[in-house]
Structure 1
Amino acid sequence: MQTTTLDTTRLALAERSVPRYTSYPTAPHFHPGVDGATLGQWLAALDPAASLSLYLHVPYCAAMCAYCGCHTKVTRQQAPLDAYAESLVAEIALLARATPARRVTHLHWGGGTPSLLGETNLARVMEALARHFDLSGLAEHAMELDPRSLTRSLAVALAGLGVNRASLGVQDFNPAVQRAIGRIQPFEVVEAGVGHLRGNGIAALNFDLIHGLPHQGLEGLARSIRLSHSLQPDRIALFGYAHVPWMKKHQRLIEESALPGVAERLDQARMAREMLALLGYEAVGLDHFTRPEDPLAQAARNGTLRRNFQGYTTDSADALLGLGASSIGRLPQGHVQNLAETGAWRRAVAEGRLPVARGLALSEDDKRRGTVIERLMCDFTVAPPADLLEAARPALRPLEEAGILRLEATRLTMTEEGRPFLRLAAAAFDAHLSHAGRHSVAV
């Protein structure tokens, strides 16, 4: 079939490099001028009644997957994990001393593989959190898990710690793809892990899938979606693989010639969206699909969906505080990121310093643009302030001509077929983009 001019235009747009917009401004613009002393001032200014969301990052895995874009490293020894847990406990105390705010509504463990800390260390960290913060109103306690290490014993321990949502890294069920990305994980392994969680009362389950992986075709992706659906997760996040070997050197293990091209990625995204809709899932934002009764779907319908460093969420806490090496926080005044190197992070904590490496204080213009970008990323439509819309029109017009969005006098709206290009529309409002580093492709 001959490629049309419109198809050619869209293919070119899909190959553009743009951020994922889990924050605005995005992390490449953070700078060392925002440090631990700055964070201390911001924390002290929080209202005692402010609600908090806590994110704990554990940068360790038992093995490195070739596709991974997370900040993590491999360890097979217990000593580094024990030391890391000890520093987490100390950092919790540091944060608590710095702020009058205590009320935690959301708690999320990410990584890496947080459960690699072990049941004893997880309990130590939770005890410290309960000692220093008020967890009585915790609406969600979530943890990212590797199904390959999800045992019945671990599920029992997590339930005992109050975990009520688990996110499983599924990625793809096809053996050829699993070999190419270095993650051998048969369906039966995931099925067993799901059984352990549900058998111990952890019923809210998220699956992470990825499209755009090496040797991944439409038929194989459809099979992975069908198998995932057979386990009835509440949410499926379908991310486009971000191939950034200049940032993540282990991604060089992936043979680039085996990666699907941009047209194939577009076909995969479209097929997956249509298939998940037929299976009864509602599309939420750019890449999430949920059951209609899920709180995320309800938030999308009523306009209260949010987007932060963990992706789409119902979390509306006044401040997100990050703990652990490389973790990112968001406060009313701006963004902060911890030291990424584990040793440097531990030394700062041991010295009684908030272990901030860099951050960014938000200007009024940043806040205005950030609100526009977040609403567009969540709602697919936005009515920006008139001056921002006028300034963005030159960048938006090519997207309008390609049928990706409708541009009106005071509002822009993504078309149904244009939704995979959402990040391009958001980029039109990014005043910092011309100074950014390299990013992954738009679709």
Structure 2
Amino acid sequence: MRPITLKTLAQRYAAPVPRYTSYPTAPHFTTAIGPRDTEAWISGLPADAPISLYFHIPFCRSLCWYCGCATTVVNSPQPVSAYLETLCEEMAHVAALVPASNRVTHLHWGGGSPNALSAGEIAVLAERTRDAFNIDATSEFAVEIDPRFMDQERVKAFLGAGVNRVSIGVQDFDPAVQRAINRHQSYELTADVAARLRDAGLTSLNVDLVYGLPGQTQASVERTVDQVLTLDPDRIAVFGYAHLPDKMRHQRLIDTNALAGPVDRLGQANRIARRILAHGYVRIGLDHFAKPDDPIAVGPVNRNFQGYTTDTAAALIGLGASSISRFPQGYTQNAVRVPDYQERVAKQRLGTARGLAFSGDDRIRAHVIERLMCDLTFSERDLRARFGAAAEPLIEEGALVLEADHDGITEPTDDGFRITEHGRAFVRSVCACFDIYLDQSTARHAAGV
């Protein structure tokens, strides 16, 4: 039998599948879950259990055509200041429900671009948060930024607020690619922002890259990653561009003919990975890389709506428009549109619009999918230890997945199976084998490669 080529694998596993930052995935949330469930789930958190907070800042100064985030372009400060007021109202109500003994161990601001906030607003939001919650002295405080709109006042404000990890969006440094996605950002500007953050005392720098963008080639992404490596980031995230113009109307501005096919996309991802690994980084899960002494490389690694994380908190509470919370009982999500979110907070003190309560089966499948995404392993012993006899149907499914694999994506262990190194790029497709909701969904997902 002829060996299976990467070209064949790329074509075979190109079908769209979820990114599995959650299970069940967000398209299956319903309005059967509402604000009263959020209140009950927050109030019922175990005493002394650590919690995480996520704040969504849904504003940008410029529209990037590739973007898949919930964000709005603003050209004046008024919408941002009005939103901040609503966000603080929601936060105050949530804080009143959280047991006083619960410590916040992870804090994350995402967007959009959190640096759409002014320096003063950054300080206000951080101060209100520390007044409202019991923030652990060793907590990780991470912020995503757009370096094109990062002045020195904001640098000082973020570091003064206690930020210790910053993720800088780069995507690609090639000018032609930047024109194709309407994001003009030079290497020199990015390096200057990174240097100013470090000079101000930042302890950890992340860089986000994207492959599969219009006009990208294996040679061009290699040039970009080589430039990124000169910034000496502690972590690098490498995401595949998800072209979903039916869902994101601004993506219709991208020339579909300039997009790489699955074989070229896989080639770009592999070229980037080789360059990063050659510089001594450790690979984490599907698409993250870290220095060997970084906490995420040391482990353990988990996965949430922000991607790979060291967060082990009992609950992740999302605040702001479109934010998703995860509790032991299930998920809740705030209204996506800012006006709808603001109206809900005014009426019900929370932005909750929908959610999902876990079944016992959901919990087992979520664990299987998370461990595959993080550790690339399926462990029968682990499942039996955690879930007892209820795990047996999933263990049988795992055996079928291994038996059906004729492509070398998986390999048996004495305890189940693991994803092989050349199968790593297709781990989401393996996870999809355990997703009983997938065939019921009409949602659009990112390409499997």
What residue in structure 1 maps to residue 357 of structure 2?
361
What residue in structure 2 maps to residue 388 of structure 1?
394
Once the two structures are TM-superposed, the CA of residue 408 in structure 1 deviates from its matched residue by 5.6
Distance 2:433 2:222 in 1: 33
What residue in structure 1 maps to residue 386 of structure 2?
none
Report if the CA contact (8 A) 1:322-1:328 is conserved: yes
What residue in structure 2 maps to residue 296 of structure 1?
296
What residue in structure 2 maps to residue 440 of structure 1?
446
Report if the CA contact (8 A) 2:378-2:398 is conserved: no
What residue in structure 1 maps to residue 53 of structure 2?
54
Q: Which moved more, 1:251-260 or 1:269-278?
A: 269-278
Report if the CA contact (8 A) 2:426-2:448 is conserved: yes
Distance 2:86 2:23 in 1: 29
Once the two structures are TM-superposed, the CA of residue 100 in structure 1 deviates from its matched residue by 1.5
What residue in structure 1 maps to residue 387 of structure 2?
none
Describe the shift of the 1:45–1:151 C-alpha distance in structure 2 as closer, same or farther (beyond 3 A). Answer: same
Once the two structures are TM-superposed, the CA of residue 129 in structure 1 deviates from its matched residue by 1.1
Report if the CA contact (8 A) 2:14-2:448 is conserved: yes
Q: Render the CA deviation track for 1:126-169: whole Å, top value 9, x for unaligned.
A: 22111111114342111000010112221111111111110000
Q: Render the CA deviation track for 1:239-295: whole Å, top value 9, x for unaligned.
A: 111111111111111101101111001111112111111111110110001100100
Q: Which runs of 4+ in 1 moved over 3 A?
A: 3-9, 392-398, 407-410
> Does residue 1:74 correspond to 2:73, yes or no?
yes
Among candidates 399, 402, 424, match of residue 419 of structure 1? 424
TM-score normalised by the chain length of structure 2: 0.94
Once the two structures are TM-superposed, the CA of residue 14 in structure 1 deviates from its matched residue by 2.5
> Does residue 1:324 correspond to 2:323, yes or no?
no
Distance 1:313 1:212 in 2: 24
What residue in structure 1 maps to residue 119 of structure 2?
119
Q: What are the equivalent positions in structure 2 for 1:222-371 lying under 5 Å apart?
A: 222-299=222-299, 304-371=300-367
Once the two structures are TM-superposed, the CA of residue 392 in structure 1 deviates from its matched residue by 4.8
Q: Render the CA deviation track for 1:82-116: whole Å, top value 9, x for unaligned.
A: 10111111111110122325411111000001111
Q: What are the equivalent positions in structure 2 for 1:79-98 lying under 5 Å apart?
A: 79-98=78-97
Report if the CA contact (8 A) 1:151-1:196 is conserved: no
Q: Which moved more, 1:175-184 or 1:343-352?
A: 343-352
What residue in structure 2 maps to residue 29 of structure 1?
28
* Matching residue's letter, 1:264: D
Report if the CA contact (8 A) 1:103-1:137 is conserved: no
Q: Which runs of 5+ in 2 are unaligned?
A: 381-390
Once the two structures are TM-superposed, the CA of residue 181 in structure 1 deviates from its matched residue by 0.6
In structure 1, the residue corresponding to 2:135 is in which secondary structure? coil
Report if the CA contact (8 A) 2:398-2:416 is conserved: no
Q: Which runs of 5+ in 1 are unaligned?
A: none
Once the two structures are TM-superposed, the CA of residue 344 in structure 1 deviates from its matched residue by 1.6
Identity among equivalent pairs (%): 45
How many residue pairs match? The answer is: 436
TM-score normalised by the chain length of structure 1: 0.95
In structure 1, the residue corresponding to 2:134 is in which secondary structure? coil
Distance 1:266 1:395 in 2: 23
Among candidates 356, 368, 373, match of residue 372 of structure 1? 368
Report if the CA contact (8 A) 1:51-1:319 is conserved: yes
Q: What are the equivalent positions in structure 2 for 1:102-141 lying under 5 Å apart?
A: 102-141=102-141
Distance 1:149 1:55 in 2: 22
Q: Which moved more, 1:345-354 or 1:255-264?
A: 345-354
Report if the CA contact (8 A) 1:389-1:410 is conserved: no
What residue in structure 2 maps to residue 209 of structure 1?
209
Report if the CA contact (8 A) 1:6-1:402 is conserved: no
